[in-house]
Chains A and B, each alone.
Chain A
Amino acid sequence: MSALLTGAAWGLAAASLIAVAALIGVWWERKVAGRIQMRFGPQEAGPAGLLQTLSDTLKLMLKEDITPTAADVPVFRAMPFLVFVPVASALVVIPYASGWAPFNIATGAVFFLAVPGLSVLGILLAGWASQNTYASIGGVRAAAQMISYELPRTLSVLSLCLLAGSLSTGTIRAEWRWWWVPLTAVGFLVYFISSIAEVNRGPFDLAEAESELVAGYFTDYSGIRWAIFMMAEYGGVVAASLFGAATFLGGGLGLSGVPGALLFVALTALIATAMIWAKWTFPRMRADQLMTFAWKVLTPMALVQLLAVGIALAARVVLS
């Protein structure tokens, strides 16, 4: 019973973390996008427009929650949650301290890769349940894309598991050494790119391409349900950035104590900012380019990375 309560508490903490991160993240994204496009971004509400997202959230909560008459009503209404919950659950296996994650299981890395992948079901069914051609096309695109990019992402994390000799995220962070960074640089790049594709953000946002599909799979959603989809997207960015900083970069590059924690937060913010930067810099990819890139560029890169790690580990055994 207490295990269930602890789990519920951590789940609540993860959802709150995503809510706060989305509040700050949307503001930060609009500021960065503004700078890239030579504008100021939000600046009216509060100092430097900091209260803009808060007022937007209030507006979204007060808006009418519309369900289209043709939609499959129970499925349509449930899908935002099926997208959000798996993404939020990824946050409980991230090693926030050396050797420690809230849900510290022996297969934490597999959990991190497998469970958030369930949100693709929610996206696919949200597109279908809307009974809308744009939404359906968005759902199908998202499914093809997320399944393809899962493979290089898994392979890139696998090289870390090989180095640590464990699938536990806590152990990966505890075992982290500085020479992992140059050794897994290619793997980190693959992880970074495929993480952007996993959360359907630009330049991989074919599933919600506004110039062709209005808003893709969430075209028919409004008000708070639309906001939950957006929260899931930011949750995905936060989870991918936290995991990347905590494992590939060893938390605070191996530092402990307060400097380590601060560096961990800074590196996470840096990865998230790089994702925003990529979105507002690169043009959207075409569907066939997307698939070619996943299967002919990223997957071989991840495999070569895995081979390099294997050779390095074998060489270490031979030399010592």
Chain B
Amino acid sequence: MSALIFWLLAICAGIGALAVVMSHDVMRLALGLGLVLLSTAGFFVLLGFGFLALAEVFVYAGGVLVLVLFAIMLVHRGEPGQPSLEVTHDPLILVGCVGVFALLLAVLRPVALQLQTSSGGSVDALGSVLLGDLLLPFELSGLLLLAALVAVVSVMGGDRR
């Protein structure tokens, strides 16, 4: 059963990834990205990492993707019926893509083979790791994000009115 769900999700992720690369319509492209992100969340559920799946949906599908779409809608408005994006299919790009894919496969395959379906990844365990052993890096990354936020406001000039 889980194999069937895995393959369904894999096909969805594949279609989404192809749409991101091949589509001429920016909106279809973004929809494809959404499909990839949601399928990834599905993989996390299959592996027993429920919280990670929800975080993926919350942050990436519900947040980052919406901001991407938002930016596209604000700056880019294609004429109806016209392709709104120039997509060139260079064979060299294909070579590069296959190369990166092979590299990822080579690096991730040993790790992926060790990965077992588990009920691990409980929120309690995650919380004690993040606020225990990894407290300093966790807080520092928060500080880094805050610094980035303050920097953006200061670069933009803040409230000019």
Contact = CB atoms under 8 A, between A and B. Distances in A.
Interface of A: 1, 70, 72, 75, 105-107, 110-111, 113-115, 117-118, 120-121, 124-125, 127-129, 131, 136, 139-140, 143-144, 146-147, 150, 167
Given A114-B57, A128-B27, A136-B77, 8 more contacts: A111-B54, A114-B54, A121-B69, A124-B66, A131-B80, A139-B73, A144-B70, A150-B63
A275 B101 CA distance: 51
A232 to B, nearest CB: 16
B66 A120 contact: yes
22 contacts: A70-B80, A70-B81, A75-B27, A106-B122, A110-B51, A110-B55, A111-B54, A113-B58, A114-B58, A114-B62, A115-B57, A117-B58, A117-B63, A120-B66, A124-B69, A131-B80, A136-B73, A140-B70, A140-B73, A143-B66, A144-B70, A147-B63
B109 interface: no
Given A72-B25, A75-B27, A106 B63 contact: no
Contacts of A150: 62-63
Contacts of B81: 70
Given A70-B80, A167-B123, A105 B50 contact: yes
B123 A143 contact: no
Scoring A128, A129, A140 by chain B CB atoms within 10 A of each residue's CB, the highest score goes to: A128
B47 interface: no
A121 B66 contact: yes
Interface in B49-92: 50-51, 54-55, 57-58, 61-63, 65-67, 69-70, 73-74, 77, 80-81
A144 B63 CA distance: 10
B15 to A, nearest CB: 13
B20 to A, nearest CB: 15
B123 A107 contact: yes
Nearest to B5: A4
A75 B74 contact: no
Contacts of A75: 27-28, 31
Contacts of B1: 1
B58 A125 contact: no
Interface in B23-47: 25, 27-28, 31, 34
A128 B61 contact: no
A117 B27 contact: no
A56 B74 CA distance: 37
B42 to A, nearest CB: 13
A128 B73 contact: yes
Contact of A110 (B54, B61, B74): B54
B54 A147 contact: no
Contacts of B57: 114-115, 117-118
A269 to B, nearest CB: 29
Please provide the 10 A-B residue pairs with the shortest distance between their CB atoms, ordered closest to farther.
A114-B58, A117-B62, A70-B80, A110-B54, A114-B57, A107-B51, A114-B54, A131-B80, A143-B70, A124-B69
Nearest to A168: B123
A120 to B, nearest CB: 6
Contacts of A117: 57-58, 62-63
Contacts of A105: 50
A121 B67 contact: no
Contacts of A114: 54-55, 57-58, 62
A121 B35 CA distance: 12
A245 to B, nearest CB: 23
Given A75-B27, A106-B50, A143 B69 contact: yes
Contacts of A115: 54, 57
Contacts of B69: 121, 124-125, 128, 143
A98 to B, nearest CB: 21
Contact of B66 (A1, A70, A147): A147
A72 B63 CA distance: 24
Contacts of A167: 51, 123
Contacts of A1: 1
Nearest to B62: A117
Contacts of B28: 72, 75
